[in-house]
């Protein structure tokens, strides 16, 4: 009989087929191991159950705050851990290994909300919010997407109008993680001059309403929310001074996409580790299924993709530490690691046979969660278009009708 998922898991060491461990510093290994130990002890035992019940595991927040994951690569001046970006990435991968929902919580809290305040906020805003958010004592959300503005945030409709020495915001946001229990919402809105800006709205603002999106089949243990803002008045100092137009969103997204790339790696690693252990123990036709060529091919595809993603991830972290990680590179990173995680999860689910669809084995949970990750932080298509523009110089986001359609049905090429 094949072992329980618990036995299977503890029998396996972290995947490192090509020896990437030697590329890490002592401190980076230590951060990874501490987070791994926490995830094994606190997160994995409760993750599937919360996912099944679509409940957010609030009990895990103090431990995550204590570990230093939130804003992990930011300076200790703001109560953050001050890790290298590689250490921060390794920590994210470990959390994602345990729960894609919890790593999504992290991307919103740390990658988006804290990053917006850190990169675009005033010194007062940073001092006020970052230390509490680093400890998960204060929760943030980040509202960019709207019902009619997803991949194209430049078309967003939320407005901010100057009034009574502050601003009044009106509009809706969709898909916003953590908003239903947030202390602070980072909200993007259009000013009267047509430019985008960004505001901090406190969760108890009387004009700020949230509704958790029901019936999700991905990311079930973390809540995304529909926000309605009706006459939300905020003081003048609630505006982030560094938010100056659509380009400022990219400053934040470049940071959060970096974290999401590591997320894909962590979920892929867990799927592979589970699959490898399972195939060694599961016997059919008189032998462990790991001894069959077709099964080995799937395992090799997984470990090959994971190894390449590991190298890419560490390189991205080193570039980020050097201040040289540009938006197009990070788009390729997110696109690659999440797409590879999607393939890996599907292969792992396959080699687990019927057990692959049981939540007990966690692979199905990852597979479903990766679908959400594939779409957020720039869909795979949008990140492809960003990289495409970087290498060709042509921006291929918007449709323009062909000039001079020919009678034979062929259209003239459109010049940029």
Ligand X SMILES: Cc1cc2nc3c(=O)[nH]c(=O)nc-3n(C[C@H](O)[C@H](O)[C@H](O)COP(=O)(O)OP(=O)(O)OC[C@H]3O[C@@H](n4cnc5c(N)ncnc54)[C@H](O)[C@@H]3O)c2cc1C
Smallest gap, in angstroms, from Cβ of residue 158 to ligand X? 11
CB closer to ligand X out of 28 and 377: 377
Nearer to ligand X, 65 or 100 (CB): 100
What is the closest distance, in whole angstroms, from the C-beta atom of residue 341 to ligand X in the complex? 15
Please state the φ and ψ torsions of residue 399, each to the nearest 5 degrees: -80, 130
In the complex, minimum distance from the CB of residue 176 to ligand X, in angstroms, rounded to a whole number: 5
Which residues would be at the binding site for ligand X (CB under 6 A)?
108, 142-145, 150-151, 175-177, 219, 224, 372, 375-376, 379, 381-382, 385, 397
Residue closest to ligand X when measured from CB atoms? 150
Burial of 159 (0-12, 13-18, 19+ CB in 10 A): middle
Q: What count of residues does the chain have?
A: 416
Q: Give the C-alpha separation, 24 to 39, whole Å.
A: 20
Judged by beta carbon, residue 17 or residue 397, the one nearer ligand X is 397
Between 230 and 395, name the residue whose CB sits nearer to ligand X: 395
Q: Which is nearer to ligand X, 122 or 151 (CB)?
A: 151
The minimum distance between CB 385 and ligand X, in angstroms, equals: 6
Q: In terms of CB distance, is 86 or 196 closer to ligand X?
A: 196
CB-based contacts of 120, cutoff 8 Å, min separation 6: 198, 240, 241, 242, 243, 248, 251, 252
Question: In angstroms, what is the minimal distance from the CB of 327 to ligand X?
Answer: 15
CB of residue 398 vs ligand X: minimum separation in angstroms?
7
When the beta carbons of 126 and 334 are compared against ligand X, the nearer one is 334
For residue 351, give Cα distances in angstroms to 7, 105, 326: 18, 29, 38
What are the DSSP calls for 247-261, one per residue? HHHHHHHHHHHHHHH
- In the 8-state DSSP scheme, what is residue 275? H
Measured distance CA(313)–CA(104) in Å, rounded: 18
Please, what is the minimum distance in Å from the beta carbon of residue 53 to ligand X? 18
Question: Which CB, 219 or 274, lies closer to ligand X?
Answer: 219
Minimum CB distance to ligand X, residue 103 (Å):
11
Beta carbons within 10 angstroms of residue 263's beta carbon: 29
Strand partners, 310: none
Distances (CA, A) of 250 to 115, 200, 321, 327: 11, 18, 18, 7
Half-sphere exposure of 399 (CA within 13 A, CB side): 1
Q: In Å, how far are 65, 253, 311 from 20, measured between CA atoms?
A: 27, 27, 7
């Amino acid at each position: 009989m094949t072992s329980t998922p618990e036995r299977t898991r503890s029998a396996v060491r972290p995947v490192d087929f090509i020896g990437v461990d030697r590329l890490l510093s002592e401190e980076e290994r230590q951060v990874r191991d501490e987070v791994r130990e926490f995830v094994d002890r606190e997160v994995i035992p409760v993750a599937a159950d919360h996912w099944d019940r679509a409940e957010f595991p609030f009990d895990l927040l103090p431990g995550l705050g204590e570990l230093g994951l939130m804003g992990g690569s930011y300076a200790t001046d703001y109560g953050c851990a001050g890790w290298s970006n590689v250490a921060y990435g390794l920590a994210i991968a470990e959390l994602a290994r345990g729960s894609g929902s919890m790593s999504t919580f992290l991307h919103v809290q740390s990658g988006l909300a804290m990053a917006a305040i850190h990169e675009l906020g005033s010194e007062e805003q940073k001092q006020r919010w970052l230390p509490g958010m680093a400890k998960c004592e204060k929760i943030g959300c980040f509202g960019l997407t709207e019902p009619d503005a997803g991949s194209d945030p430049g078309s967003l409709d939320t407005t901010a109008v100057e009034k009574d020495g502050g601003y009044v915001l009106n509009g809706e946001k969709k898909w916003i993680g953590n908003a239903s229990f947030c202390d602070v919402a980072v909200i993007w809105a259009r000013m009267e001059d047509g430019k985008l800006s960004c505001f901090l709205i406190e969760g108890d603002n009387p004009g700020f309403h949230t509704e958790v999106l029901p019936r999700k089949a991905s990311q079930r243990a973390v809540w995304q929310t529909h926000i309605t803002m009706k006459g939300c008045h905020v003081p003048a100092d609630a505006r982030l001074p560094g938010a100056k137009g659509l380009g400022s969103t990219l400053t934040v997204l470049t940071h959060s996409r970096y974290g999401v790339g590591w997320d894909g790696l962590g979920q892929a690693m867990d799927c592979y580790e589970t699959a490898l252990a399972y195939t060694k123990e599961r016997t059919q036709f008189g032998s462990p299924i790991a001894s069959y060529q077709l099964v080995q091919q799937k395992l090799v595809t997984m470990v090959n993709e994971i190894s390449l993603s590991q190298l890419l991830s560490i390189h991205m972290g080193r570039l980020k530490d050097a201040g040289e990680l540009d938006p197009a590179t990070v788009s390729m990173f997110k696109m690659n690691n999440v797409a590879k995680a999607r393939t890996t999860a599907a292969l792992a689910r396959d080699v687990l046979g019927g057990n692959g669809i049981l939540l007990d084995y966690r692979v199905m949970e990852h597979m479903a969660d990766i679908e959400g990750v594939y779409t957020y932080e720039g869909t795979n298509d949008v990140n492809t278009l960003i990289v495409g523009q970087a290498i060709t110089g042509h921006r291929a986001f918007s449709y323009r009708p062909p000039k001079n359609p020919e009678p034979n049905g062929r259209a003239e090429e459109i010049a940029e």
